[in-house]
Chain A
Amino acid sequence: MVPLPPVVAAGRGRRVNMDLSRPNLQLSVEGARTGPQRNWGEAGSEEDFKVKNETKRREPPSPSSTMIHSLFLINASGDIFLEKHWKSVVSRSVCDYFFEAQERASEPENVPPVIPTPHHYLISVLRHRIYFVAVIQSEVPPLFVIEFLHRVVDTFQDYFGVCTEAAIKDNVVVVYELLEEMLDNGFPLATESNILKELIKPPTILRTMVNTITGSTNVGEQLPTGQLSVVPWRRTGVKYTNNEAYFDVVEEIDAIIDKSGSTITAEIQGVVDACVKLTGMPDLTLSFMNPRLLDDVSFHPCVRFKRWEAERILSFIPPDGNFRLLSYHVSSQNLVAIPVYVKHNITFREGSSQGRFDMTLGPKQTMGKAVEAVLVSSQLPRGVLNVNLNPSQGTYTFDPVTKLLSWDVGKINPQKLPNLKGSMSLQAGASKPDENPTFNIQFKIQQMAISGLKVNRLDMYGEKYKPFKGIKYMTKAGKFQVRT
C-alpha cells in the first residue's frame, strides 16, 4: 500500500480537492508572479537551475518522445494556477520563456503559439483569458497539440458551463480526472465528450448536493463501455421520455466592405448545430433542398462520408446531446447578399481640434426580416480625446483610454434609420490623424439563412417511436467589417 496523505484516504468531495492539490496540483497562490513585478534577474538564476535540472533528468538517451509532456494553465495576471504532467515532471520554470514572449508581445493574442526553448517547445493557446501551455520535447505536428488543447477547453466548457479560472479551481478534481483520461502518456486517449461523460459525470448543482449528503462521487459507478462500441461517439443505453431532435442552421457573414460601400470580399460560413435527445440507437438522415450550395463542408465523425458524396444526404448515428454536425462554407463565387449598409462621414479638419462623426445604418436585402441586436464598434484613432455623439436610438460608449467606440443599436427600424452623429475632440495642436477607423458590425437575423440553404427533411430509422423534430435558422454577422 502506498502511504497516502490521510486526508485523501478519508475525505471526499470538496476537502479532497484542496488537500490533494498540495502535493500534486500546486495551486500556486503563494508563488504568484504578477507580470510587471517580475524580477528578471531572478529568472535568470532560475533558468540556470532549470538547465542543470534538465541535464540531470535527461537520463534516457533517446529523445524521449511523448507527444505532450506537461500542461500549464496561466491566468491573465501571469500566475501558473494548475499544472499536470503526463510523464516525468517538468519544472515550472520552463514557463519563464513563455512569460518572456508574453512580455515582448504587445497584445495578449500576439504571443506566438509555438515558442522554442533550449530543451522543450512550448505550444500555447489563449482561450477565455487563460493560456493553456503545453510542453513538448520533440517533433510533433503543432496543429495536433493546438487542436488538442482547444478540445480540452471545449470539454471544460462542456462540463462546467464556463471555462474560467474560478470554475477550474472549483472543480479541480474533475479537471484532473478529465486530463488523466484525455491523455495517456501524452497521446490523446478519449476526447469525445460522450465517452468522457460516461467515465466522469459532469458536476451539477443537484449532484454536488447529493454527493455531499450521501458521500457518493462523480465517477461513474459502472465501467464505461463507450470506448469499445462501434460508434464511439455515442454512449449506450440512452433513455428519454421526450424524444426530441433540434437543429440550428446558423450562418455567419464574413465581409469586408470598402469606403464606398462596395463589397471587397464576402463569404458565408455556416454550421448546423444539433441537440439530439433520442432514446436508443437512432439512425438519422437529414437532406437539404439545395445541397449544391455547400461549397466546402466538414463533418462530425459520425456522418457517413460516402453517402454524402453519392447522394448529398447527411446520414449519421448522432452523439447524445449537443454537437456540431456540420460546418460549411458558401464561397465568394456565389453572390452573397449583404443585409446591412452603412453610410458614414468622418472628417478631421487640419488645424482645428474638432472632428465630425456621422453614421447611419440601414437594412438591405433582408427579405423582409428584421435586423436585430446590432452593435457597431470601432477603434478610433489615437489622437481622439473624446467624443460627443448623439444616437437616434440605442446607447453608445467611448473609452478614452483604449479609444474604443461602441454603439449598441438594437433593432433596425427601416422607417427610421438609426443614426449616430456628433463631434470628436482631438488633441490640441496635434496634426490630424491619418489612420481611418474601421467599423466592426454585429447583427442577427432570425428565421433566415442568408445563403438560402433549407433543410428538406429529417428521417429516423432504427427506433420505433416518433421524435419531435425542430429546425431553426439564423443569420449573424461574422467578421463583418466596414472600412472608411
Chain B
Amino acid sequence: MGVVCFDVKKLVYVYLVRYAEEQQDLALLSISTFQRGLKDPNQLIRASALRVLSSIRVTIIVPIMMLAIKEAASDMSPYVRKTAAHAIPKLYSLDPEQKDQLIEVIEKLLADKTTLVAGSVVMAFEEVCPERIDLIHKNYRKLCNLLIDVEEWGQVVIINMLTRYARTQFLNPNINESLLEEGNTEGKTFYPSDEEEDEDEDEKEKEEKKAEAMAKRKPYVMDPDHRLLLRNTKPLLQSRNAAVVMAVAQLYFHLAPKAEVGVIAKALVRLLRSHSEVQFVVLQNVATMTIKRRGMFEPYLKSFYIRSTDPTQIKILKLEVLTNLANESNISTILREFQTYIKSMDKDFVAATIQAIGRCATNIGEVRDTCLNGLVQLLSNRDELVVAESVVVIKKLLQMQPEKHSDIIKHMAKLIDNIQVPMARASILWLIGEYCEHVPKIAPDVLRKMAKSFTNEEDIVKLQILNLAAKLYLTNSKQTKLLTQYVLNLAKYDQNYDIRDRARFIRQLIVPTEKSGALSKYAKKLFLALKPAPVLESPFKDRDHFQLGSLSHLLNAKAGGYQELPEWPESAPDPSVRNVEVPEWSKCSAREKRKEKKVDKPFYSDSDGESGPTESADSESNSGSGSDSGSASDVSASASESEESEEGSESDEEEDKDEPKHNKKKLQDMKKPTHNTESEQSSEEEKKPQRKPKTRKMSESESESEESDSESSESESDESDSEPEIRKKKKVDPKASKPVKKEAKKESKKEMSLLDLDDFEPAPSPQVTPVNFMSSSLVTDLEGLSLSDDVLAPATISPSSSMKSFELLHRITGEGLSVEYCFSRQPFSPDANMVSVQLHFTNNSSSDVSALHVEDAKLQSGMRVKEFPEIEALAAGDTTTAVMGIDFCDSTQAANFQLCTNSKKFLVSIQPPVGELMRPVFMTENEFKKEQGQLMGMNEITEKLTLDSHCRNEHAIVQRVTTAANLSRVPCGADHECRFAARTVTGNSLVLVTVAIKQEAAQVTVNCDKMLIGTMLVKEILQALAQ
C-alpha cells in the first residue's frame, strides 16, 4: 500500500478484511503488498502482515497463507509465532483440507517454550485437532509450568484443555469415595421415606460388601504429573479474571481429590460480587456443585442470601443453591430466611421460594410438618399467585403422607371457591379425588359445585373434574351417580377433543353396561391405585456430566463443538509418555521426579518384606541415569512396581496395625464420605516415618544418595502437606518416629560429604561423571527446597487448627446453658489491641434462652472488653458462636464479667494463657537477629530441657510451640534451630523465641522486654515440649 499514514493503513486493513469475501478479485490485488510485509525486518510489521493476510477469506490464497504460516511458525520473534498460531484456525475454517499440514505446524508450535505462544497455540489445537491428545504428552509438564505466566485468556483455554487431558491420562483420585458414594445414593433412592429401620440389616450387609470391595481395590497413588497440574493451577484462583477462576474451579471439581476441592469455594463466592452476568454463570455452576459436594459451600451459606435488589434470575439461582445446601442443621435458619423472601414484592421470586420450601420439606423429614403448616398459612395470602403456588406444592407434600392431613385437604376444598388460577384448582380437585375417602362428606359437594361451573373452567380443570367424578363414582356411587353422569354428558359435548376423549374413556370404564369390557372390573384399581409420591428434585441434578463452566453446561444441552469430558480410565495409561528428552535446563526437575518415585518404592516394598528386587532396580537406575532414555524406562518400571507393591503393603498394614480402629473408621466413613480422605491421609502419614528404617538398612554405598533422595522427597511432600496432615504428625506413634531424628542428623552429615564420597568411588565409565555433577546440583536444589519450606511454614501452619477450648460456664451451673471459649487467633478487627475470644454457646436446656449479653465487667485497671452483639435468642438444643474482644493489657489476669440472659446472670471469667497475649509478626532472619541483639541481658530468659523421643523432629517442635503460643515462624538458615516471633497484643513489644535442638536436649530462649511475659512463656513452651 502506498499510503504512508498508519491510521489510514489500519482502516484500509479493516475495510479489506470486511469486504474481501464479497469482492474477491479486488482483494487479491492487495496480496503482494502483504507478502512483501512478511519479509519486513520489523517483527511487528511481519506479524500484522500475517494477521491481515490470514484474515482475508478468499480460497485462492490458501497456499500462500499456508506458506506464510509455516514460515512464521519458525520466525525468531515469539510475537510473530503467536500470530502464526492465531492464523491456524483461520486457515482451517477457510479450507479444512489443510488439516494435516496445520497439525504439523501446531505440533511445532506446541514445543515452543515462550509464554506468549502457549495460549494461542493451545487455542489453535483446540479448534483444529482436539482429538490429537497425543500431541500434548511431551508438552504437558511445560504447559503446567508456564501456565501462571501465560496471559489470562490463554490460561482459560489451556486449563480447559488440560482438564480433558488429565481425564484421559490419570486415574480417578476419588476412586474409593466414588464407590462409597454409589452405595449412598443407592441407599437414598431405595428408601425414599424415613421408614428404614427394619432394613438396617440389609444395609449393614451392603456396607460389609463395600468394605470388602474397598479392600480389594488398589490403593490410589496420585501421579506426580496430576499433582503438578493441581499445584500449578491453584494460585490462579486468585486471578482477577472471572473466566480463569471458573476454569480452575472446574478443573479442581473434575480432577482433584475430594478433600482438596474445597479451596475453590472461596474463590467462587468471591465472584458473586462481580457483575450480574458473571454471578449468573457462577451461580449456575455452584448449583451443580452443591448437589454433588454440599459440604464445600456450607460455610458460605450466608453469601447466598438474597437481597431485594438482585435481579430475579439471580434470586432464583441463589434460592436453588440455598435449597441444595439445606440440611438438618441449617434448615431452621434457611426457613427463617425463606420467610422473609415470601414477603417480597417480586411475585415470581415468591413463587420460586414456595417451591423451594416444598423441596426442603421433602428432603428433610424433620421440617416437613413445619413447612406444611407454613404453606397452609400462605393459603390465606392475598396474592393469588402465592396461593396457587402453595396449593401446588402442598399437593405434592400431602401425597407423601395423606392420612395425617385430612384437615388440610378440607381447608383446601374450601379454597376452591376463591382460587381462580387453573393449575391450583386442578391440584385441589386432584387431591380431593385422590383422597376422597378421607373427606367423604366434602368431596361430593365439591363435585356438585364443579359440575355447576364446568362449562366455564379451563381445560386442565375440566379434566380434573372428570377425574374427580370418576373416582367418586367408584367409591361413593350412591351419592354421586347422577352428578357423574351429568358431568360426563357435559364433557361429551365439550369443544376440546381431549376432554371428549377422556369422557368417553371414563364412561366405558366405570359405568357398567351389558357389553362393558373386561377392563371395567379393574376400574377401581386403575383409578385408585396407590401413586408414588413425586420426587421434587433440583433441575441441576444431572448437569454435571457436562464440563462445568462450559456453554453446554449452562444451557444443559450440547453446544456445537463441545468436547465431551471423558470418563476416568480404568487403569492409568503409561505415564512415561510425558517424559521429555530433556534439554539441559529441565534435567534436574525430571530427575527429582524420578527420584521421588524411587523413594516411595523402597518404603512400600519394605513393609511388604520384598526389598530384593527394588534394590536391584535402584542400583540399575543409579548407574544408568546418565542416559536419558534409560531414566525414562526406569520411571515407568519403578512406577508400576511401586503400584504393585503398594497394593500388598497397604492392605497388610491396615490389617495388622489397627484392625479394630480401622473398622470403626470405615464405618464412620460410610456415614461421612468427607471423613474418609482424612483418615486415608492419616494412614498414609502413619506410614511415612517407616520409610526411614528401611533406608538405613540399605547397603552403605547406596545409602548416601538414597538418603538425600528421601530428604528431597520429604521436603517436597512437606510443601504440599495440608494442615490436617501436620496435625496428624503428632499422632504418629513414637516407635516409628524414633529413628527419624537420628536419621535426619545422619543425613545432613552425609549430605555434606556426598561429593567427596562419590569421588572416592572408582568411576566405572565416563558416563558416571554427569551423575556426580548432577548430585552436586541436587544438593543445592535440596538446600533451595528446604529453604522454601521454611519460608512457607508460617503460612501452612495455621494456628486455628490447634484451637483449644476452655470452659466458661458449665452446663449445670449455667442451668442448661453451657459456654466454651477459645482463642481464635484472628485479629479482632474493631480494635487491634484486643485479643479476640470466640465464645461457643450451647443451649442444653429444654427452653429457649434469649437476650444473651455481657454486663458489668469487673476488670483490672486498664483492661477493656468489647462485648459481642447481643444474641437475641438461642433455641433449645441450638448452638451459636460469638466473638468478643478483650484487652488484657499483656497480663494473664482474668477478665471477669457477667453473662446475662433475660432472666439470669452468671459470673464468669476468662483467663488467657500467656501464649494468646501476642499476635504473630513476620520478620526475616536478619531482622530477627538484629532485634535479638537488642534484647539481651535481663530481657533474655533461657531454659533447657530434655526432649521427649517423639518430638525431636523440627515439625513436631514447630507444631507444639505454635500451639502453645500465637507465634509465627521466622525463616532460619541454621539447622537445629527454630525461631519464632510475635508482638504482644496491647504493648506491641516484641517476643522472640528460639528453640535450639542438641540431640536429646533442647534450649528454649525467649527475648522479650516484658520479663514477666518472657518467664511465663518459657514455662509454657517447656511444658508444651515436654508433654
Per a CB cutoff under 8 Å, which of A66, A225, A290 touches B93?
A66
Q: Which residues of A contact B526 (CB under 8 A)?
A: none
Q: Does A62 contact B (CB under 8 A)?
A: yes
Interface hits, B232-280 → A, CB 8 Å: 235, 238-243, 245-247, 266-267, 269-270, 273, 275-278, 280
- Among the listed stretches A162-170, A263-271, A386-394, A469-477, which one makes contact with chain B, having 4 or more residues with CB under 8 Å of it? A263-271
Instruction: Say if the beta carbon of B3 comes within 8 Å of chain A.
Output: yes
CA of A125 to CA of B275, assembled, Å: 9
Q: Are A292 and B10 in contact (CB under 8 A)?
A: no
B1's closest neighbor in chain A, by CB? A1
Are A223 and B270 in contact, CB atoms less than 8 angstroms apart? Answer: no
Q: Please tell me if A30 contacts chain B, counting CB pairs below 8 Å.
A: no
A362 at the interface (CB under 8 A from B): no
Q: Which residues of A contact B54 (CB under 8 A)?
A: 185
State the Cβ distance, B672 to closest chain A Cβ, in Å: 23
- Please, which residue of chain A has its CB at the minimum distance from the CB of B831? A452
Is B16 in the interface zone, CB < 8 Å from A?
A: yes
Q: Tell me which of B243, B267, B277 has the highest count of chain A C-beta atoms within 10 A of its own C-beta.
A: B277
Q: Which residue of B lies closest to A227 (CB)?
A: B79
B482 at the A interface (CB under 8 A)? no
Shortest CB–CB separation between residue B554 and chain A, in angstroms?
5
List the B residue with the shortest CB-CB distance to A62: B96
Q: Which residue of A lies closest to B239 (CB)?
A: A298
Residue A42 CB within 8 A of the other chain: no
Mark interface residues in A124-147 (1 if CB within 8 Å of B CB, else 0): 111100000000111111111011
Contacts of A239 in B (CB 8 A): none
**How far, in angstroms, from A438 to B343 measured CA to CA in the complex?**
11
The answer for the CA separation of A290 and B308 in the assembled complex, in Å, is: 34
Q: Known: A146-B281, A435-B345. Is A114-B551 also a contact (CB below 8 A)?
A: yes
Looking across the interface, which residue of chain A has its beta carbon closest to that of B871? A262
- List the one stretch of B38-46, B727-735, B893-901 in contact with chain A: B38-46
Determine chain B's interface SS by DSSP, over half rule: helix
Cβ contact within 8 Å between A4 and B160: no
Contact A434 B381 (CB under 8 A): yes
Looking at A31-39, A322-330, A416-424, the stretch in contact with chain B turns out to be A322-330
Give the complex CA separation of A136 and B551 in angstroms.
10
Residues of B within 8 A of A140 (CB): 551
Q: Taking A88-B21, A265-B305 as contacts, is the C-beta distance between A139 and B795 under 8 angstroms?
A: no
Interface flags for A150-193 (1: CB within 8 Å of B; 0: not) read: 10000000000000000000000100110010001101110100
* CB of B334 to closest CB in A, whole Å: 12
Closest to A8 in B: B11
- Is A349 interfacial (CB-CB < 8 Å)? no
Query: Does B572 have its Cβ within 8 Å of any Cβ on chain A?
Result: no
List chain B residues, Cβ under 8 A from A327. Answer: 240
Answer whether residue B933 sits at the interface, using C-beta atoms and an 8 A cutoff. no
**Cβ–Cβ contact A2 & B86, under 8 A:** no
Q: List residues of chain A with CB within 8 A of the CB of B275.
A: 125, 127, 146, 150
Query: Quick check: is B173 within 8 A (CB to CB) of the other chain?
Result: no
Minimum Cβ distance to chain A for residue B496 (Å): 27
Total interface residues on B, using CB and 8 Å? 124
Least CB separation from B93: chain A residue: A64
Chain B residue nearest to A107 (CB atoms) is B311
A88-B21, A106-B312, A311-B791 in contact; A141/B830 too (CB < 8 A)?
Answer: no
CB within 8 Å for A24 and B15 given contacts A221-B6, A310-B795 = yes
Contacts of A225 in B (CB 8 A): 44
Chain A CB within 10 Å, residue with most, of B12, B19, B42, B152: B152
Say yes or no for B681: interface residue by CB 8 A criterion: no
Q: Identify which of A240-248, A278-286, A334-342 touches chain B.
A: A334-342
Which residues B420-440 have CB closer than 8 A to chain A?
none
Closest residue of chain A to B57 (Cβ to Cβ) is A88
Alpha-carbon distance between A188 and B555 when the two chains are bound, in angstroms: 24
B307 pairs with A24, CB closer than 8 A: no
Chain B neighbourhood of A147, CB < 8 A: 241-243, 278
Picked from B19, B313, B348, B788, the residue with its CB within 8 Å of the CB of A112 is: B313
- Determine whether the beta carbon of A435 is less than 8 Å from that of B307: no
Please give me the residue from chain A that is nearest to B250 by CB atom.
A141
Specify which of A113, A220, A297 is in contact with B280 (CB 8 Å cutoff).
A113
A1 to B550, CA, bound (A): 44
Contact partner of A125 among B26, B277, B872, CB < 8 A? B277
**Which positions 599-655 of chain B face chain A at CB distance < 8 Å?**
none
**Is B493 interfacial (CB-CB < 8 Å)?**
no
Q: Which of B182-190, B710-718, B821-829, B1007-1015 contacts A (4 or more CB under 8 A)?
A: B821-829
Q: Are B15 and A440 in contact (CB under 8 A)?
A: no
Cβ A110 vs Cβ B313 within 8 A: yes
A109 with B276: CB separation less than 8 A: yes
Knowing A187-B86, A232-B151 touch, does A143 contact B561 (C-beta < 8 A)?
A: no
User: A299-B238, A431-B382, A440-B309 are contacts. A180–B10 as well, Cβ < 8 Å?
Assistant: yes
- A312–B95 Cα distance when bound, in Å, is 52
Check if B869 is an interface residue, CB within 8 A of chain A.
yes
Answer yes or no: A455 CB below 8 A from chain B CBs: no
Chain A residues lying within 8 Å of B920, measured Cβ to Cβ, are 292
Closest CB in chain B relative to A21 CB, distance in Å: 11
- Nearest-neighbour CB distance to chain A for B990, whole angstroms, equals 15
- Residues on the B chain within 8 Å of A107, using CB: 311-312
A2 B795 Cβ-Cβ under 8 A: no
Measured CA separation A143–B275 after assembly (Å): 11
Q: Is the CB of A63 within 8 A of B561?
A: yes
**A256 CA / B247 CA spacing, docked (Å):** 31
Residues of B within 8 A of A407 (CB): none
Complex Cα spacing A65 to B551, Å:
13
A265 and chain B: residue at smallest CB distance: B302
Within 8 Å of chain A (Cβ to Cβ): is B463? no
- Whether B560 is near chain A, meaning CB under 8 Å from some CB there, is yes
The interface centre, meaning the residue of B18, B239, B337 with most chain A CB atoms within 10 A of its CB, is B18
CA distance A87 to B127 in the complex (A): 15
- The distance in angstroms between the C-alpha atoms of A431 and B383, with both chains bound, is 11
Q: Contact at A144–B562, with CB atoms within 8 Å?
A: no
A101 vs B690: C-alpha distance in the bound complex, in angstroms?
65
Q: Is the CB of B563 within 8 A of A139?
A: yes
A269/B281 contact (C-beta < 8 A), A219-B10, A327-B240, A452-B832 known: no
Q: Known interface pairs A3-B26, A436-B343, A483-B340. Does A217 touch B5 (Cβ–Cβ under 8 Å)?
A: yes
Cross-chain contact A4 with B313 (CB below 8 angstroms): no
Return chain A residues, CB-CB under 8 Å to B551. Answer: 114, 121, 136, 139-142
Which residues 120-134 in B have Cβ within 8 Å of A in the complex? 120, 123, 126-127
- Asked whether, in the complex, the Cβ of A139 is within 8 Å of the Cβ of B8, the reply is no
Considering the chains assembled together, what is the distance between the CA atoms of A227 and B554 in angstroms?
A: 34
- Tell yes or no: A356 within 8 A of B by CB: no
Instruction: Kindly state the separation between the CA atoms of A452 and B1005 in the bound complex, as whole angstroms.
Output: 33
Which of A116, A136, A147, A290 lies at the interface centre, i.e. has the most chain B CB atoms within 10 A of its CB?
A147
The reply to whether A187 and B829 form a contact with Cβ atoms under 8 Å apart is no
B364 at the interface (CB under 8 A from A): no
Between-chain CB contacts (< 8 Å), 23 pairs: A2-B12, A9-B3, A16-B11, A110-B311, A110-B313, A116-B557, A136-B551, A141-B550, A143-B282, A146-B242, A176-B11, A185-B86, A223-B42, A223-B45, A265-B305, A293-B829, A301-B152, A309-B235, A311-B791, A312-B922, A335-B883, A452-B829, A481-B308
B residues contacting A by CB (< 8 A) are 1-3, 5-8, 10-16, 18-19, 21, 26-27, 29-30, 42-45, 51, 54-55, 57, 77-79, 83, 86, 89-90, 92-96, 116, 120, 123, 126-127, 148, 151-153, 156, 160, 235, 238-243, 245-247, 266-267, 269-270, 273, 275-278, 280-282, 302-303, 305, 307-309, 311-313, 337, 340, 343-345, 348, 381-383, 549-552, 554-555, 557, 559-563, 788, 791-792, 795, 826-832, 836, 868-870, 872, 883, 885, 920, 922
What 20 additional pairs, Cβ within 8 angstroms, besides A60-B96, A142-B551? Answer: A85-B18, A89-B18, A107-B312, A112-B280, A114-B554, A125-B277, A141-B243, A144-B153, A148-B243, A185-B89, A218-B7, A221-B6, A228-B77, A267-B303, A299-B240, A301-B152, A332-B303, A334-B826, A382-B345, A434-B382
Please list the 3 inter-chain residue pairs (A to B) with the smallest Cβ-Cβ separation, ordered nearest first: A138-B561, A217-B7, A265-B302
